[in-house]
Structure 1
Amino acid sequence: MYSIIGLTGGIASGKSTASAYIREKGYPVLDADHFSRKATAKGGPSFDGIIKAFGKDILDEDGEIDRKKLGSIIFNDKEKRQELNDLVHPKIRRMMNEERDRLIEKGHVFLDIPLLFENGLDSQCDITLTVYADKVIQKKRLIERNELTESDAESRISSQMPLSKKRDLSDVTLDNNGSREELYNQIDAFLSRLEK
């Protein structure tokens, strides 16, 4: 019997690093962000609705959605963020579910979903896994990675469910306050338990 594992975290918590490592270990990882890009790309199932809701100002010179422009709107406006989620999430869910149902026949499947708990998708998982980092470390990584001001980093972090809450809701926590090696060791331990 194969498991569906929901993998989540917060911005700059190390979820993508964990996800990439799990993929390297040979497990399929369905990334919600990948499906989000497919849904919102020019000609994608959510594209027209987003332009109708947010206007043509969010397009880049190639006529694609400029994710930075859209991000600056939704990270500071809860209602606009909800509007975007309502346009995009059902399409992402449908595409991911089709892929998951195809892959679960062959082995364990990881679902990399930033809003796993927020959208109640943990109910579709056999195991939930949160990549956790303290808020101070999260903010430091985010400022360095995205070259943000402290207040921009703060608003992005506070636009998400606190990682401490995700950790408390999760079946398994990967503590990513240390080195990459320490994170990989925890993932290895989890995968070996999974295979037993």
Structure 2
Amino acid sequence: MRIIGVTGGIGSGKSTVSKILASFGAHIIDADRLAKEIVEKGQNALNEIVDYFGPSVLNAEGNLDRKKLSHIVFKDKNKLEILNNITHNNVAQKIIERLDSLDDNETAVVDAPIPIKHGFLDVVHEVWVVTADKEVRIKRVMERSGLTYNEVEDRINSQLSDDFYKSISNTVIINNGTVEELLLQVKNYYYL
């Protein structure tokens, strides 16, 4: 099995690269989607979050109240680190389970914005980093999310640096152009 890890910061085009790889027949494992699934009612991660933060992080229906939880963790770095440990460990477990369910002749893509050690770096065979110039990224995110320039810039600045992403990569995809140009790059690396 070939396992490609695709990562990159907000607005870089990481998800577009994964969609292109899916069109080539690769099986996509989306860490963001898994992160949402693991905090659904009845899931282990939600139980761990409630055990640590208390039932006040749940809404009336027993679902995670993300606003309440965000309000707690973004004021306290230690609590944010605990939340990240809970979610990362549970996402890593789900990624490994999904990989184990695939056939040996398949290509899998683990699409993850944060290249965690366990469940990403330790399971992928190659790391593809998608980058783009900061202004290109800001424009993309503003267009799709309605956030202001400063809000997007703050999000970019709070993420891992391009230098870090490049330091863990086997392949760097520069995505400043059109989707067609991106498709050609991805195709070239995929069929090497």
TM-score by length of 2: 0.84
Partner secondary structure for residue 182 of structure 1: helix
Aligned position for 1:43 = 42
* Residues 55-78 of structure 1 deviation map (CA, whole Å, 9 limit, x = unaligned): 666555654334466557656754
Aligned position for 2:11 = 12
The verdict on how the C-alpha distance between 1:66 and 1:25 changes in structure 2, with shifts beyond 3 A counting, is farther
- The number of aligned residues is 191
The verdict on how the C-alpha distance between 1:61 and 1:139 changes in structure 2, with shifts beyond 3 A counting, is farther
Aligned position for 2:128 = 129
Aligned position for 2:140 = 141
Partner secondary structure for residue 9 of structure 2: coil
* Residues 103-131 of structure 1 deviation map (CA, whole Å, 9 limit, x = unaligned): 15232211112111x53632432111011
The verdict on how the C-alpha distance between 1:11 and 1:163 changes in structure 2, with shifts beyond 3 A counting, is same
CA distance in 1, matches of 2:178, 2:77: 34
Partner secondary structure for residue 5 of structure 1: strand
CA distance in 2, matches of 1:148, 1:55: 31
Equivalences for 1:3-152 in 2 at 5 Å? Answer: 3-54=2-53, 59=58, 62-67=61-66, 70=69, 78-116=77-115, 118-119=116-117, 121-152=120-151
The verdict on how the C-alpha distance between 1:78 and 1:149 changes in structure 2, with shifts beyond 3 A counting, is farther
**Seq. identity, %:** 34
CA distance in 2, matches of 1:130, 1:113: 10
Q: What is the aligned-residue RMSD (CA, Å)?
A: 2.5
Aligned position for 1:174 = 173
Partner secondary structure for residue 4 of structure 2: strand
Give the letter aligned to residue 129 of structure 1: W
Give the letter aligned to residue 146 of structure 2: E
Does the Cα contact within 8 Å between 1:8 and 1:113 map onto a contact in 2? yes
Give the letter aligned to residue 181 of structure 1: E
Partner secondary structure for residue 163 of structure 2: helix
Give the letter aligned to residue 39 of structure 1: I
Aligned position for 1:186 = 185
The verdict on how the C-alpha distance between 1:4 and 1:146 changes in structure 2, with shifts beyond 3 A counting, is same
CA distance in 2, matches of 1:165, 1:47: 30
Does the Cα contact within 8 Å between 1:76 and 1:155 map onto a contact in 2? no
Q: What's the offset of the Cα at 1:49?
A: 2.7
The verdict on how the C-alpha distance between 1:41 and 1:132 changes in structure 2, with shifts beyond 3 A counting, is same
The verdict on how the C-alpha distance between 1:80 and 1:176 changes in structure 2, with shifts beyond 3 A counting, is farther
Q: Return 5+ residue gaps in structure 2 as ranges.
A: none
Q: What's the offset of the Cα at 1:94?
A: 1.2
Give the letter aligned to residue 63 of structure 2: E
Q: What's the offset of the Cα at 1:149?
A: 2.8
CA distance in 2, matches of 1:126, 1:169: 12
